[in-house]
Structure 1
Amino acid sequence: MMNATSPASARRADLLAAGAATVTVVLWASAFVSIRSAGAGVSVILCKSPGFIGC
């Protein structure tokens, strides 16, 4: 059985896929920046704690 799709619905599916990929990349990038920023603050706190090795 062949699936008949109109060009409009195929274009809509392509746009939705591109939008989903864009949102995913933006969210991953913002998470990376947030984690990196938080890591800098946490490392300062950990380095000041007694007994912490690795600073």
Structure 2
Amino acid sequence: MSTTHVLVLSLALFTLGVVGMAVRRNFITVLMCVELILNAANLRLKQTVNLDQVNVMEG
């Protein structure tokens, strides 16, 4: 998966989580939206670490 694809997926998950938190007021739904936001951040962080490792290995 390329960096652009991961960035777009992460942005979509983050946006979906923020919109879900703004629209819904059910506690369980808000917790699921927070989970989406955290998953988006985790996905982006994982991609950044992998990209950094590739750059280090290439020299």
Fold equivalence (TM over 0.5): yes
Identify if the C-alpha distance between structure 1 residues 4 and 20 changes in structure 2 by more than 3 Å, giving closer, same or farther: closer
Residue 32 of structure 1 aligns to which amino acid in structure 2? D
Q: Which runs of 5+ in 1 are unaligned?
A: 40-55
Is 1:33 equivalent to 2:53 in the alignment?
A: yes
Instruction: Flag the structure with more relative contact order, 1 or 2, with Cα contacts below 8 A and sequence separation at least 6.
Output: 2
More helix per residue: 2
CA RMSD of aligned residues (A): 1.3
When the two structures are superposed, what TM-score results if normalisation uses the length of structure 2? 0.56
TM-score, with length taken from structure 1? 0.60
Q: How much identity, in percent, do the aligned residues show?
A: 11
CA distance in 1, matches of 2:24, 2:50: 39
Count of equivalent residues:
37
